[in-house]
Chains A and B, each alone.
Chain A
């Protein structure tokens, strides 16, 4: 089982719709969860971080975390063509020998269509 799993997509939504991106993770000890946006040929850009169960909203973005189900999601409201990118879910895994490692899912490609 992969440590962090995402549907690779592409996920196509019309402009103005809500895009829903999902991620599951395997390590119950994970404490912190991140969503990064990556445009083609560019580096990952932080969109949201979430640490506690529930919802966290920032503008058009809402991150949702359910630790019992080992599930984290990102909702993008009023999707715009500029939101078209690959969205990477990242989970910080605590290593048995100490330290931690940010592990990424394979990313979901989002396409917002006019």
Chain B
């Protein structure tokens, strides 16, 4: 089973709202990732968690705040977003955050910021 789940599937929020995206995997993977994907562009890495610790932050604005409550869960807290933050947000997981492990993607959350 290589399933990564994400909720919600769609989210519409105003610029003053606070919302959270959730990601869950039950494959025993120890690395989890957040990506952002704009239309007709490849996924861009935002954050990497390895063994529940933040290991990579790709200079993401502070209005995006990641959290890894346990090895199976990954959250992305959103606050004061801008319309240009509208995108598909993808969660992925891999066995380890090594150079060879395959990353498996969840279905994504389609975010629209009004």
Chain A interface residues toward B at CB < 8 A: 31-32, 34, 36, 41-46, 49, 51, 88, 92, 94-95, 99-107
Contact = CB atoms under 8 A, between A and B. Distances in A.
Counting chain B residues whose Cβ lies within 8 A of the other chain, the interface size class is: 20 to 34
B64 interface: no
A107 B104 CA distance: 18
B48 interface: yes
Given A43-B88, A49-B102, 4 more contacts: A43-B107, A46-B104, A99-B50, A100-B97
B20 interface: no
Nearest to A88: B42
Contacts of A36: 105
A75 B45 CA distance: 27
Contact of A106 (B41, B55, B104, B110): B41
Contacts, number: 54
B43 A34 contact: no
Interface of B: 2, 33, 41-43, 45, 48, 50, 55-56, 88, 90, 97-108, 110
Contact of B102 (A43, A46, A101, A106): A46
Contact of A44 (B55, B90, B98): B90
Contacts of A106: 41-42
Given A99-B56, A106-B42, A107-B42, A43 B108 contact: yes
Nearest to A94: B99
A106 B41 CA distance: 6
Given A44-B90, A105-B42, A100 B105 contact: no
Contacts of B43: 44, 88, 104
- Among all A-B residue pairs, the 6 with the closest Cβ atoms: A104-B42, A32-B100, A100-B99, A43-B105, A43-B108, A31-B99
30 contacts: A31-B100, A32-B101, A34-B102, A36-B105, A42-B107, A42-B108, A43-B88, A44-B105, A46-B2, A49-B102, A88-B42, A88-B43, A92-B99, A92-B100, A94-B99, A99-B48, A99-B50, A99-B55, A99-B56, A100-B97, A100-B99, A101-B45, A101-B48, A102-B33, A102-B45, A104-B42, A104-B43, A106-B41, A106-B42, A107-B42
